[in-house]
Amino acid sequence: MSQLRIESDFLRYLLAQGCTPGGRLPSLNEISNEIGISVGKLREQLEVARVLGLIEASPRRGIHYTGYDFLPAVRQSLMFGLNLDRHLFDSYSALRGHLEIAFWDEAVVRLTEDDRQRLGQLVAGAWAKLQHGRIQIPHAEHRAFHMTIFSRLDNLFVTDLLEAYWDAYEAVDLNTYADYRYLTAVWRYHEQIADAITAGNFATAKQLHLDHMSLLGSRGVPFDSDPLPAGRLLPTQASP
């Protein structure tokens, strides 16, 4: 297969090696001699490959190809954008919402019985945190709930774009503060969604999902405001 618009000598070299995950590559000097570029230039290209998640390099283990992963490139670009303008999160959130709806039908029919049980367990775990004497924000459960629904999709671009959303969600601190009424409303929806999926009522679950996704925009937590307005927001608390 021809190599399409790959400008990096090192990336072309990786492709020529067959890209076997876990495969160890020769030393920098050997690669430099083989592809005809300086070690300095090769190091630059090697760093790009590392940031893209394609290789791991260490003095002891050498250079290894780790396999193709879309997420590192998406995450790096997204985090850079959010550092320029945190309100870009709204645009990415809209993209995530459309992706989840577009792939909902394909995703839910692939869920196993274990997956359905996991959704119920995540809901139970979230309620336990919210009803605890020291209220905790169930962010890990929130992320896992959504990603479980789409975990069986055979499309790494979709799942990695969704994973990047949750990284961005954490980066702009939406996992840290939330109105208690918002949290309880979210988890009531999640509980109903999990029940509908378990019962095989996928259309009902999809509509509930659509309804619940409008909640994020109603949170009213501006990025440039004091994160603790009088008595409305609850801080994350560590598990006891």
Angle separating helix axes 139-149 and 180-198, nearest 10 degrees: 30
Structure tokens at 123: 């809901």
Half-sphere exposure of 232 (CA within 13 A, CB side): 10
Percent residues over pLDDT 90 in the chain: 63
pLDDT at 158 over 90: yes
* pLDDT tens column, 72-90: 999 999 999 999 999 899 9
Structure tokens at 46: 């090697």
The 10s digit of each residue's pLDDT in 162-178 is 999 999 998 887 666 66
Give bridge partners of residue 55 from the DSSP assignment.
65
* CATH 3.10.450.50 is right for the domain spanning 9-65: no
Q: What are the residue boundaries of the structural domains of the chain, listed by start?
A: 9-65, 71-235
| 58 pLDDT above the threshold of 90 | no
Coarse DSSP helix, strand, coil percentages of the chain, rounded to the nearest 5 percent: 60, 5, 35
The pLDDT of residue 218 is above 80? no
For the structural domain made of 71-235, what CATH number should be given?
A: 1.20.120.530
Residue 228: count of CB within 10 angstroms of its CB: 11
Q: How far apart are CA 9 and CA 46, in angstroms?
A: 10
The mean per-residue pLDDT over the stretch 3-10 comes to 80
Same topology, domains 9-65 and 71-235? Answer is no
pLDDT of residue 91: 94
